[in-house]
Structure 1
């Protein structure tokens, strides 16, 4: 049977929210651990030709675009006595941890062998990781139904996001002496093993102490639409399409800053440890979350998101005033506050869209899997857009292996991709938020319709 916290009881315990948020650490550490180290490991340590590496990622990206929405709809349609989401999380947790280790042990016979191994491992890893992340993220909007619960959970999800990304950056420092030396291969494997242990432990904590499926939604899988009908309903949802474009803009900025900020810190700010500035921004984003929670409770997601995006864009422009290490750390604190708002409000908005869909689509079922699956597509698209922008800008500047062909262009090129490009994208997000139709009045109306619908579901369960 699916678990229930009490007949008609909507609010959850504080301990449940914190335990659930542990899964966010696993979510981020599992993927960021490889994204941070994968290219350096295969290109410099293993010696794989860059063409083979790029080809592996192109194949992986094509597969990723296919499996994300499929797994989302499959999750919505799953019917078991343990619920829709939990069985998939149990099924994926051990393979996910093992694959985090297998990524670092390619057979080094020749480039073709490494390429085939990397391609196959990436495809399997993405299948398993998507199974975990779609089902894990699909759980929280139906577990945590009240604004109080969702606001509180949002803080802890932000904190554990920072911990997950921070561990992906910091763990390698303990095990890898020289990131580019072939002799460092055992260190990469040790890092993978430790990260995998952390992932499986945090998922276990989430499953044991912070995961349940409400009994009133146990019949939703029976009434869930087919794949074709689900996609049709999803892509006809105007609010969701606008929100996907907003999410795409936010993902672009999320993605570009970690990529180029260390270079900006090194070449513009002359920082001795350029990667540390990102960690400071992440810490500040977590600390600032209560501010955004209060604003969200007072103004709603749409208006708060507009303020967050505007603040983030302004803080990036302010960062142009940084000229050395001290001013760099000073102004990155302001950037971190804007980052914290967008991290926190992103999930809050998706939860409201799912509520809106449940009461207005005409099918009266919750389809978190379908929505999170489609949003994942836009996440991957953001990476492709950033790669194109960076390739065009850096190629034009003559960027080689870790150095500029013409260092005098650094003050022009690096602000262009680190500041002006993200600000331009955030302005687009701000315009989209202006036209986003789910305002606070509609949210309050949806809450009344949702509570009435859930009471009817409880009476039938």
Structure 2
């Protein structure tokens, strides 16, 4: 039966297996990561703090809004993945969704980053609802498209590396702006929001045509891609155990990263007493994060993806436990740990993204159906669920421990902030590594699958 299914894909897979984009084309395709990930840091790090301090929204209300938006995402992301793997559109199966999502994304970004007078919690909820919908409509088919460019195990890591580096550059850009604003106009929260909006919307206008024209969108769903009910699609995902392990690891690593991101402004300003470093420290981390992608790519060619991801996650555990030794008088230690955090931060995200495409190959061999977009929709969902978990748990938790964003804070409240800031990410990264221990789909097994598909 596997041979019969493989014959459905043979011509297409032979072409993909030898396809290697030039660095220029791959850079153009990866540039779309800039507007996608440029909003990730502002939404997770700065937006809650700005809306709490400048617009007076309670932390509990903000946590609830983000949590509800992620519950909505649990429905929207798989639905987009379910529809995205059915048939082909006139502009291409991936391009159509990306273009439509870009329109929704731009409108919602304008509402979030250029809020009108009297901006309220309900309007924030609506803006986030549309924002995450547009984000999903772009990101899910974009990730699936990236996984379809090549069928080679290491080439997929190269493609994912370009995307990770592009995302890191976008985060670097949006971190430079608030750092400059903090030095010139530190209390101008609307200016910070506007600078984020210009990067997101302006980046979308520039990179969208570059990415859509860099690579052909000629993927066609195989005949085995019968239209299945949504409930059956859910059962299909639940039955794919390797996919569940990858997305569980991704959920954990994203939660850990974004607990740190959601609290770093409060930690640096209130605990360390260095508000002028709140943006600069985050910028410092991502400067080294840009260099980390190629390093982890080289490690992966020797160790394999899942072993490299485990190594990176264990390094993250050690770094976050080291934060327990940080005091206001030990600012150089915080700088050193932040540098290490930057070098280690992309390891899990990079490997896990590439592993989803490998799991999709295994599924195609066994069933004859191409569910790449569906699988990436679930992968995208877990990342956003991790963001919701981070904001929806970390902010109410530090508030429960007595921390107030506008102060004053007792020593006990500041100690509680430190514990959540350090131990929350450490535990999450440890869980992420445990999910990948003994992962069976390594380079040798993937090569066997590719040979069977191309037989």
Shorter-chain TM range is 0.7 to 0.9
Contact between 2:82 and 2:230, CA under 8 Å: does it hold in 1?
yes
CA distance, structure 1, for counterparts of residue 202 and residue 342 of structure 2: 29
In structure 2, do the counterparts of structure 1 residues 428 and 30 end up closer, same or farther at CA, with 3 Å as the change threshold? closer
Please give the TM-score of this superposition, normalised by the length of structure 2. 0.85
What is the deviation of 1:37? 4.1
Residue 170 of structure 1 corresponds to 176
Residue 100 of structure 1 corresponds to 109
The answer as to 2:209 corresponding to 1:198 is: no
Q: Aligned match of 1:334 in 330, 333, 340?
A: 340
Secondary structure of 1:365's partner? Answer: coil
Stretch of structure 1 that moved more, 337-346 or 218-227: 218-227
Stretch of structure 1 that moved more, 52-61 or 192-201: 52-61
Secondary structure of 2:216's partner? Answer: coil
1:57-456 aligned at under 5 Å gives the runs 57-106=66-115, 108=117, 114-172=120-178, 185=190, 188-189=193-194, 191-209=196-214, 211-215=215-219, 217-219=220-222, 223=226, 225-266=228-269, 269-271=272-274, 272-322=276-326, 324-360=330-366, 362=367, 364-387=368-391, 389-391=393-395, 393-403=397-407, 405-407=409-411, 410=414, 412-452=415-455
Residue 5 of structure 2 corresponds to none
Residue 459 of structure 1 corresponds to none
What is the deviation of 1:262? 3.7
In structure 2, do the counterparts of structure 1 residues 116 and 318 end up closer, same or farther at CA, with 3 Å as the change threshold? closer
In structure 2, do the counterparts of structure 1 residues 348 and 51 end up closer, same or farther at CA, with 3 Å as the change threshold? closer
CA distance, structure 2, for counterparts of residue 218 and residue 16 of structure 1: 24
Contact between 1:397 and 1:404, CA under 8 Å: does it hold in 2?
no
CA distance, structure 2, for counterparts of residue 49 and residue 395 of structure 1: 10
Stretch of structure 1 that moved more, 370-379 or 241-250: 370-379
Stretch of structure 1 that moved more, 263-272 or 424-433: 263-272
What is the deviation of 1:141? 0.7
What is the deviation of 1:77? 0.7
Once the two structures are superposed, what CA deviation does each residue of 1:413-453 show, in whole Å capped at 9, x if it has no partner? 2442222222222222222211433234322222222333x
Once the two structures are superposed, what CA deviation does each residue of 1:137-185 show, in whole Å capped at 9, x if it has no partner? 111111132234223223322221112222233334567865766xx64
Q: Aligned match of 2:27 in 6, 14, 18?
A: 18
In structure 2, do the counterparts of structure 1 residues 279 and 120 end up closer, same or farther at CA, with 3 Å as the change threshold? same
Stretch of structure 1 that moved more, 38-47 or 366-375: 38-47
What is the deviation of 1:128? 1.8
In structure 2, do the counterparts of structure 1 residues 80 and 36 end up closer, same or farther at CA, with 3 Å as the change threshold? same
CA distance, structure 2, for counterparts of residue 337 and residue 442 of structure 1: 29
Residue 457 of structure 1 corresponds to none
Secondary structure of 2:93's partner? Answer: coil
What is the deviation of 1:320? 4.2
CA distance, structure 2, for counterparts of residue 48 and residue 434 of structure 1: 42
CA distance, structure 2, for counterparts of residue 12 and residue 451 of structure 1: 21
Please give the TM-score of this superposition, normalised by the length of structure 1. 0.84
CA distance, structure 2, for counterparts of residue 427 and residue 191 of structure 1: 32
Root mean square deviation of aligned Cα: 3.1
Contact between 1:76 and 1:224, CA under 8 Å: does it hold in 2?
no
Contact between 1:24 and 1:160, CA under 8 Å: does it hold in 2?
yes
Unaligned runs of 5+ in 2: 1-11
In structure 2, do the counterparts of structure 1 residues 55 and 238 end up closer, same or farther at CA, with 3 Å as the change threshold? closer
Higher relative contact order (CA 8 A, sep 6+): 2
Unaligned runs of 5+ in 1: 453-461
Contact between 1:277 and 1:332, CA under 8 Å: does it hold in 2?
yes
CA distance, structure 2, for counterparts of residue 392 and residue 29 of structure 1: 25
Question: Across the two proteins, how many residue pairs are aligned to each other?
Answer: 439
CA distance, structure 2, for counterparts of residue 292 and residue 320 of structure 1: 27
What is the deviation of 1:206? 1.1
